[in-house]
Structure 1
């Protein structure tokens, strides 16, 4: 017998798996005659999950790759401690058993995992639903289970299987309504399609847009846009329709179909054109390459075949040496076909749900869907509303609103009522700054009696785990006067991760007293004392949970030295025990042993008392008050998620205020945090929900906090939230070595997660608050998890490949998810309550309907005077008709739409810069505004080509002239002839030949770029004007300061920017992901995935030159 890593050296394994196998012994190794199979017999005193066994099996197989593949089988035998009962072993090993039963069939493995089972003595009783499993599957399972328990664990058992009737009638009435609704929907759809003469449908009901595909009619060529027609069922040529994922070099002649998402053309040296089309059928993507004889044919082809077009292609899958991958070439024909989708999900429920928790691309590298797409999907499904709730920001509101406006416009056009709205909100990082760092303070002084204690436990949940060690010291008058230390028998095995962390194993605790004996003694030790612990919420939750089970009173004042340290020990990034100890110069012995940690915490507490006394704090009440007032203390407090929804315009303004405060005043730990105290001041018009598992209510129930504390937390929220079990299933995963990520080791099974949701619902019933079921949407459809997976992998998330199913679900899917609550309650949380919340909310616009221009006194009058003054200066006292009409038209539009102040502001900035010796560059459409020319904002003159005289102010246009006296008519005709000729040839004023003034004989100026004003302001002022001034880099800061001088301090702000994932970065994410996973992907598929990732918000910043100006009578948040 040898140690495992003495036999198998240099295996590539994760650190946590390596640690598990450190003490594993290899009993023997056998191989078959031709060395294609190997059996490795191992023995372990620790329980090892089957997933880890499989990982090691793969690692051994890879290490033995010497030309011939060898299949490895690992056969385990366990010598576990007596703490492992049959019941506990089943609980811990059920996931591993389900993995093994996947070998029977994947569906059976899943069925076994979900099946209720328990031990009745030595008999394992398992219940399955009839017709779900076969007799042969049951028989094989029974034999395997008995063999595993007897041979692997030395625990002989019997297995008995019970078959139950399905509870299929639970949603019978709902399904009946659903069928009726489907029939009505089909009839309605049929009626609409009959009315649409221009639209045809194929036999499956898919819409075909009839279009002219070539100069010949579509009917004549059956949709063929290239090559010849081809038949899918051509047996002679053995043509088949292949999924693109099955197309590879050697596939040969193939028919495939897909949607074009990229198209490009290049001319060859011979004058022919290569057209490349990237297509996807949503299983994979590939490039289709064709050759076209000339530019005319190419243009005809590209006028028909564009991005978004669905095509069917007959061609050969061949390796292209130039592009370095397999493409579809030697194309025999291309047809335009009706569209198809990767998956079509519809919400056919009669009564539909409302989603109240949705993330978009604006959720800081955490979600991948466009806000508008979510809004459109909810509307298409017939939902009455959808909420946009990004992490900490409201950046998705404009896109969501624009999509809503588009839906409204379409409804209006079709004379339909738009019974739909967007709910605007945020998933806030909420900080409880009103709780204080001392719980149940009674004003005690520092001379009181304190018990400083620490626990070691089997895990991190007071509801699920057990205490294995208690260590405590008693302080009186500032001195340690007594100690308490003991192991506790948890009556269950200590998990490896805890043994590795604490050094405490089953042997050390098996003969120790049980908690029923230890806790009364410890409570007697703590009698009349103030409890002190580092991260006291955790330790006290175990004490309080066990006291409740034994009916022992547990009313204490509790001090958390983490909170005290945040207040008194500034400048630390983290406040772990060893970090604080080091900062205060306190020695820490055997970390993660209760007695040593308690001693260290006591020394820390003594030093913190000294610091409080130095600040003049004399009792616990004063300490609490000073802590709550401390910005340093608040900045270090942890945050929890909460959903804040806007009810009305008052609420919208208050939400914007909270968002601004969270980004400017209370931003910390890279997060915009909203303080509870700030929310309470600004809660009018807002609704707040408890959010997901990262919300404080869920965490309190998860950690089995006292009923009083749960009630305090629950009172803050207007409604509670529960989510599908799959969203939180990461909490039951095991085999992860990142112990600090505590939430990963909190529950034992999906059943525990169901119980938490039930507790939240029952709490809502008890306190009279609604519970709603939400999806916590991060991507639209199940398959879209790929895009989030790649982004998170690129950002270093170790669990990126384990994406939870956080997609937008239909009503039926959500009812199925919450079936365990019972049909009535499921309908209440999924449909009734979500619609009630939606009904509480008004339809509002997140964007102010007014343009809100800043105010400069007499802007309209000053602009008009300024323009006419310069116009007369250039063109004389009597203005030419073309000048006067153009100026009057522009001024009426500018002043009428409230843009006069923009012109005056720009004029002042340009004038100031010129006076200070700096020229101002201008670009953009402002050059089309004659008013901008006349107000000296730009030198561009947008009038038609013309002449004017600087000396006598005579002007000559094509059809008119203006002069202050007699003129030479022949010269007028000559000049007008030049103008006609230049305009005919597309020239501008600067192209005119020199001209002599027909009145005074001086050389005339030539001007006029002939740009319509509509370029700048649209028709009737429907276009936002853009006056883009480019100041010298040296002068820009002075221009900003002058802007603030014009409009008043506090009314000008640097404009913000949103930075999304750039195309090159997105390409890198995709490329890196597949390289790391040893998967080959074609360039077309990488391009498709890249397109879905591009634009996901990465960060925000400041525009280098942009300034936002707020009118003095307005607030900005």
Structure 2
């Protein structure tokens, strides 16, 4: 039987805990010194507070011990100031680790708040204390005298149940929680700890009272009912099934504790199980909910000299399920000197593993299980060679870089269904690396299995630095494999391992026992079965080997057929020896600033450019406001080495501007005046101001009285009479680079999607060199819905029935396993010219596709990306976000169609502004619009406009009726934020508490408002940072309440801040609104051009030509049909939006021409005779490639028949039929007409 050994640092007494009852409410203790044992127990603090009975050497000492503990506790702390835990006498070693004084033998002891059994069967009747004492005295064994020695097994008579069969594999550990009064109770619902045995959920098949469950919250929500009551709903699951739980509250304040519950939390609950008529199933009506953690109490590695795991697979292996944090945390908890990470063919777990290794102070050996082939293939695409597994471990920085190079070569040059590594490459890059022979799929074990001679095996073994053997269960499948007729029994498997050990001795290579772990613990087998069931054939159930991580003792037991010394050697000594050869490494580059690309003179050019442009606008000498802002920004930018980043962004934007394209800024870059003066952004963050373009007279409004410079009335210069320019949006620089200007700049730019974006990507290669620019790699895991499908298939194949809650719980066990890789649509990673990319990351093809096909079906090279997910390295090497966006593309098309320069459009044009508050500028009434498109957002003219065209935002416009540019910016902020408009600003505006211009809409509003009210800038900045992230007002260790009160900040402002989940940056909103306003101007003054650009660019793929081209009545009928649907599809919703814009165009007196085989463009709407001529790609199922082919063939000569169109235009018969039905091919013969005169 197992037992605990406890030792007090203060008292020095060794005691043995013989037994714990099912609820951990009673301890039965044997001690060599009873008095010292009692003192030891008293010193354990909160660990014993929950106990109801404590027996020491057969005597009931409960009252003495608990009374003494209570007295000591009250002496130390007044009750109202009790700490959340009292562990001064104990030193926890990592999460879930018992104190050193309570190091377990077979299972860990009760923890600080007591282990609660989860789903175990009740104990048989407990023996008396006399029987326990008698049993202990009969054992004839001496207990160990010091705490860190393993006590010998305590032979127990039949009168005591076997603890191994009684104690559960999991335990619920209650954890403290402070309620509003400051008391520590650990309860979300109810006041007392939950007593009684938890039962498995699957055992409850009918109504029952006072049921206790322990499980994990799958999901939960608090609903407010019309009656103003609250209803709490929760889905709970244990390892056997799931159940719904609910609780009604008459008074909302009673539900406070449950509001804190979140998915993934562990709870213990009590309630009555009742049949629920609404769900049609059993529901637990909650009475108590207790906070805690579910831990695996039988997973401890307490061997004095623990082993090292050299072979395991995380979720980055397609068939691995080991969570990064769980393995590192467990290795640290088990005091393993190191642990190796060896995923299949990839090293994508390294970045997160490095962070976790630092967090838990755990040494990690960075490696990979590679796919080795014998020779370098003549043609990697066709040369098929047998591959073998090989373990590759990095022992130093040189080895790490060689491993990176190996990964790159295997993915870019030798990839064939998997990344292959030729043996000559392994030999060439062996420096700094350690090679292991891997598993049954390794070359060496296969050779042993197939009976190679000792001479051949010894020669083969010398290629490796160590050989591997694994538990018999890993290879048990060989017994039933017809290909290996010589393997018929467990003894044959043992003999195979013995042969590996024998050859290792002869070849002078150490042999290491490894788990080849694909999941953490034995009970996690089901998760891997679920994962692999996706590849099972219907009706065929596969069995899979038990490939979990063994503790040291478990691994020694696996090799108990060997001499004890030999087992110890391969399990402990050799694995630690390999680990000792490996240095502590950091796979990712450390100092980001050292790895900026270098451009000669970038800082000087940036400073010169900014001052030159500023003086051209504001004159020389510069106004105080301009000079101070440039100094404020340039000083930290140059100091922290960010000048080159600004200069690079300037070069990219200028390159596009020179080609006639506008570039929009994203994020907070518009908060930087240096970005404005270097041409990176149009947004001017200075306070609202006038500036004379002739004599440079300026006037700034710094008192908050003006929302934005574009709102200022037109005015003539008081000095020279010239019309003044107006600008400035009052955006603090701190929003971009932080209060001290030391935050790494994140410069995101919107290039014209499609045409200019690709050119910008190519330009980065010109700037930095083709071999230094790579697309940002991404990694996609199995999503929740896919995992859900895996569980369903697993259950169906096995004839199992799980409820939805339990399926969701099981699906979480496989969600997140890597499925594929890809690329960020806009991210470009730049490696400095003087550095090797392998200082940062290996490379690969996106989705491992070496070749792709273009629109015409031609084979083109795949996209090379970073092997690591870009998030993990973007802080260590430069990442450029060259995003594609439709707004610059629309504006360029409008400019090309009309010849009007969009940069000359005024942002205070009254007719354009009126679109956002009425339909008057369209020449329409709301009634006319409503008769066709319904009643949502019909009193404003924003249909089709970016930022403002959705029903939700049109509703915001109707609520606010904005009258100037700065109010449009506020609405953009409202629409992009979380919990900013609904139940917040909307209510404040409707109630008249605040005006539109006062409500919080962007993060900058918070900082500006507080500064205007006299709050210190640093405090205002900190409040802004908290509020924008949804953290309230005072997170981050500072208390600003007194300062806010002193500044008389109104309560509505504070309440509004507390509700906000996310705030949009004003600079981003301003940039978007500037683009949207220009497009709106064209809608008013150049309507046909506006609709041509809209349908060409924004309606691509959603233009329902058969409906739209029939006219207004057809459009109206289709909108009514979609509106009547209970659940419309995404395609239907997209079509409806486009039809609404088409209907508006018709109501304004414009219409479409039919698609014309002789005149239509491939993809662009053309203005012809005051109408719009649709392109070919509007025809259902006709893609861009065929549309281009039609136009190309038509350029040779016009089509003469359907047969000619089909042949030269490469048009399928089904599309011919569609074109015929749409009247496009009227009067065209089916076949070529043959005339006698043709001969």
TM class, shorter-length: 0.5 to 0.7
Q: Which residue of 2 aligns with 1:328?
A: 284
C-alpha displacement at 1:870, in angstroms? Answer: 2.5
Partners of 1:712 and 1:728 in 2: CA distance? 24
Partners of 1:892 and 1:339 in 2: CA distance? 50
What pairs up with 1:50-199 in 2 under 5 angstroms?
180-181=148-149
Partners of 1:836 and 1:230 in 2: CA distance? 49
What pairs up with 1:793-942 in 2 under 5 angstroms?
793-796=533-536, 801-851=542-592, 852-942=595-685
- Could you tell me which of 306, 309, 316 is aligned with 1:362? 316
Q: Which residue of 2 aligns with 1:211?
A: 177
C-alpha displacement at 1:398, in angstroms? Answer: 0.2
Q: Which residue of 2 aligns with 1:787?
A: 527
Q: Does 1:649 align with 2:397?
A: yes
CA contact (8 A) 2:781 2:820 kept: yes
Can you give the 5+ residue segments of structure 1 that lack an aligned partner in the other structure?
Answer: 1-171, 185-203, 234-239, 409-419, 434-627, 958-974
CA contact (8 A) 2:663 2:752 kept: yes
Q: SS in structure 1 opposite 2:681?
A: coil
As a proportion of its length, which structure holds more strand?
Answer: 1
Q: After superposition, give the CA deviation of every residue in 1:648-668 in whole Å (9 maximum; x if it has no partner).
A: 111111111111000011111
Q: Which residue of 2 aligns with 1:428?
A: 370
Q: SS in structure 2 opposite 1:836?
A: helix
Partners of 2:672 and 2:150 in 1: CA distance? 57
C-alpha displacement at 1:946, in angstroms? Answer: 4.8
CA contact (8 A) 1:230 1:314 kept: no
Q: SS in structure 2 opposite 1:631?
A: coil
Q: Which residue of 1 aligns with 2:356?
A: 403
What pairs up with 1:140-539 in 2 under 5 angstroms?
180-181=148-149, 209-213=175-179, 215-218=180-183, 222-226=185-189, 232=195, 241-293=198-250, 298=255, 300-329=256-285, 331=286, 333-364=287-318, 366-408=319-361, 420-433=362-375
- Could you tell me which of 505, 517, 523 is aligned with 1:777? 517
What pairs up with 1:758-773 in 2 under 5 angstroms?
758-773=498-513
- Could you tell me which of 782, 785, 799 is aligned with 1:1078? 799
Q: Which residue of 2 aligns with 1:688?
A: 435
Q: Which residue of 1 aligns with 2:163?
A: none
Q: SS in structure 2 opposite 1:1092?
A: coil
Partners of 1:280 and 1:644 in 2: CA distance? 40
Q: Which residue of 1 aligns with 2:121?
A: none
Partners of 2:669 and 2:278 in 1: CA distance? 47
CA contact (8 A) 2:708 2:727 kept: no
Q: Which residue of 1 aligns with 2:459?
A: 712
Q: Does 1:1100 align with 2:1057?
A: no
Q: Does 1:638 align with 2:362?
A: no
Q: After superposition, give the CA deviation of every residue in 1:233-260 in whole Å (9 maximum; x if it has no partner).
A: 5xxxxxx632223233434552223333
C-alpha displacement at 1:913, in angstroms? Answer: 1.5
Of 370-379 and 395-404, deviating more is: 370-379
Query: TM-score, structure 1 length as denominator?
Result: 0.57
Of 671-680 and 787-796, deviating more is: 787-796
Q: SS in structure 2 opposite 1:1101?
A: strand
Q: After superposition, give the CA deviation of every residue in 1:657-684 in whole Å (9 maximum; x if it has no partner).
A: 111000011111x110001101111111
C-alpha displacement at 1:863, in angstroms? Answer: 1.7
Cα distance change on mapping 1:405 and 1:993 into 2, 3 Å: farther
Partners of 1:945 and 1:812 in 2: CA distance? 73
Cα distance change on mapping 1:955 and 1:311 into 2, 3 Å: farther
Cα distance change on mapping 1:687 and 1:176 into 2, 3 Å: farther
C-alpha displacement at 1:685, in angstroms? Answer: 0.7
Q: After superposition, give the CA deviation of every residue in 1:364-414 in whole Å (9 maximum; x if it has no partner).
A: 2x1112223212211121111111111001101001001112234xxxxxx
What pairs up with 1:591-602 in 2 under 5 angstroms?
none
Cα distance change on mapping 1:206 and 1:341 into 2, 3 Å: closer
CA contact (8 A) 2:235 2:242 kept: yes
CA contact (8 A) 2:193 2:290 kept: no
Partners of 1:689 and 1:396 in 2: CA distance? 20
Partners of 2:664 and 2:798 in 1: CA distance? 51
CA contact (8 A) 1:386 1:423 kept: yes
CA contact (8 A) 1:940 1:1009 kept: no
Partners of 2:799 and 2:225 in 1: CA distance? 36
Q: Which residue of 2 aligns with 1:728?
A: 475
Q: SS in structure 2 opposite 1:936?
A: coil
Report the RMSD for the aligned CA atoms in angstroms: 3.2
What pairs up with 1:611-630 in 2 under 5 angstroms?
630=378
CA contact (8 A) 2:218 2:805 kept: no
Q: Does 1:673 align with 2:420?
A: yes
C-alpha displacement at 1:876, in angstroms? Answer: 3.5
Q: Does 1:980 align with 2:704?
A: yes
Partners of 2:746 and 2:150 in 1: CA distance? 49
The count of aligned residue pairs is: 677
CA contact (8 A) 1:371 1:388 kept: no
Cα distance change on mapping 1:228 and 1:403 into 2, 3 Å: closer
Cα distance change on mapping 1:755 and 1:914 into 2, 3 Å: same
C-alpha displacement at 1:269, in angstroms? Answer: 3.4
Q: SS in structure 2 opposite 1:255?
A: strand
CA contact (8 A) 1:1016 1:1026 kept: no
Q: SS in structure 1 opposite 2:293?
A: coil
Partners of 2:674 and 2:252 in 1: CA distance? 45
Cα distance change on mapping 1:824 and 1:183 into 2, 3 Å: closer
Cα distance change on mapping 1:217 and 1:997 into 2, 3 Å: same
C-alpha displacement at 1:911, in angstroms? Answer: 1.6
Query: TM-score, structure 2 length as denominator?
Result: 0.51
Q: SS in structure 1 opposite 2:770?
A: coil
C-alpha displacement at 1:640, in angstroms? Answer: 0.4
CA contact (8 A) 2:776 2:824 kept: yes
Q: After superposition, give the CA deviation of every residue in 1:18-44 in whole Å (9 maximum; x if it has no partner).
A: xxxxxxxxxxxxxxxxxxxxxxxxxxx
Q: After superposition, give the CA deviation of every residue in 1:185-240 in whole Å (9 maximum; x if it has no partner).
A: xxxxxxxxxxxxxxxxxxx9987643322x34536xx544335758635xxxxxx6
Q: SS in structure 1 opposite 2:561?
A: helix
Can you give the 5+ residue segments of structure 2 that lack an aligned partner in the other structure?
Answer: 1-140, 153-169, 843-1239
Cα distance change on mapping 1:994 and 1:327 into 2, 3 Å: farther
Q: Which residue of 2 aligns with 1:506?
A: none
Q: SS in structure 1 opposite 2:272?
A: strand
Partners of 2:251 and 2:710 in 1: CA distance? 39
Cα distance change on mapping 1:280 and 1:1104 into 2, 3 Å: same
C-alpha displacement at 1:993, in angstroms? Answer: 6.5
Cα distance change on mapping 1:253 and 1:1013 into 2, 3 Å: same
Partners of 2:615 and 2:149 in 1: CA distance? 73
Partners of 1:786 and 1:205 in 2: CA distance? 20
Cα distance change on mapping 1:994 and 1:815 into 2, 3 Å: farther
CA contact (8 A) 2:380 2:414 kept: no
Partners of 2:541 and 2:314 in 1: CA distance? 18
